[in-house]
Amino acid sequence: MPIKSIIGLLALVSLLISCNQKEKVEANINRYTNVVLVQSEMVVESSIKKTIHLMNERLNTPWARDTTLVYKPKADSAIAIGNNMINYLEALLERVKNKEEWDNRDSLFEKLKAYERDILKIDTRANQIFEEVILTIDTANDFAHMNREQFYNHFLYRVNKSQIAIVLNSLKQDILNNEFKMVHYFDMQCDISFEGYYKITPIIIQNSIHFKQNDELEITAGIGAFSSHSKPEFNINNKKLGIEPDGTFRYKMKVSNERGKHIVPVKVTFNSMYGKAQEETHNVIYYVE
């Protein structure tokens, strides 16, 4: 065999080996990328669940219940819309994994556009914040202004199965990231508000109303906060009292005719700031001379 032919054959073999090695490296990179994306999804899903758990707990707290009742359903809607899109992407990934043909690729573009439209309908204020960049794909590729053909050429033109899987897993991660951002936004709107929880009123206490000449009058004054939203109930001397407009309870009685120490039992039940029922008993002590 001529030397030139041998050199040419060796060059061809070297090229084939090089191409084969390149394909192996690309396959390894694709597998690694997909594994990292799946692991990232698990982290974000966990964060979303924790945030929703906190919002559910706030439904049982008097100072945050009202705003949580408004924004928790919005967070649930963001999750539902996102999960619907994620389920669609997972179905496509399953088809890719099973090496099934996927001819109707236009449906992916339409689904993504519908997702963006639906997610922006949840809340007007959130719309103003997120409308320019719902998905990272907008930042990276100006998806908002793409048509079907441009989307196909950007992401799906002449790509192999591994690359399609990367595109779909990346979109899943993008949806989850957006889901977390919106849930976090709605969570932050659930302000801790003490409005209506406390009644603010001046408190002025004097040491006595009956004095002898040259006795000392002592007055203690301040601003107090009486809770009405905690549903307090007072029972003084075995008599249940009604709450006053300023959040206080008042009880009057004639002191005993007997000299010495006397005790008036005071029992109070109320809900703590965490919504848990509490009960306490105190004694008012006075002396008759």
> What confidence tens digit (pLDDT) does each residue in 215-270 have?
676 777 777 777 666 788 888 888 898 888 777 888 888 888 888 888 888 898 88
Q: What is the mean pLDDT of the chain?
A: 75
Cα distances from 269 to residues 31, 139, 141, in angstroms, run 61, 56, 61
Residue 72 — very low, low, confident or very high, per pLDDT cuts 50/70/90? Answer: very high
Q: Which of the residue ranges 39-53, 182-196, 252-266 would you say has the lowest mean pLDDT?
A: 182-196
Helix 3-58 with 161-188: angle, nearest 10 deg: 20
SS3 content of the chain, % helix, strand, coil (to 5): 55, 15, 30
Question: What are the domain boundaries of the chain?
Answer: 3-188, 198-288
What confidence score (pLDDT) does residue 81 get?
A: 93
198-288 maps to which CATH number? 2.60.40
Q: What angle do CA 157, 106, 34 make, to 5 degrees?
A: 60
Where does the pLDDT of residue 283 fall: very low under 50, low under 70, confident under 90, or very high at 90 and above? confident
Sheet holding 239-240, edge to edge: 239-240, 233-236, 260-271, 277-288
Whether residue 14 has pLDDT greater than 60 = no
pLDDT tens for each residue of 112-162? 888 888 988 888 887 777 766 566 555 555 556 667 777 777 776 666 777
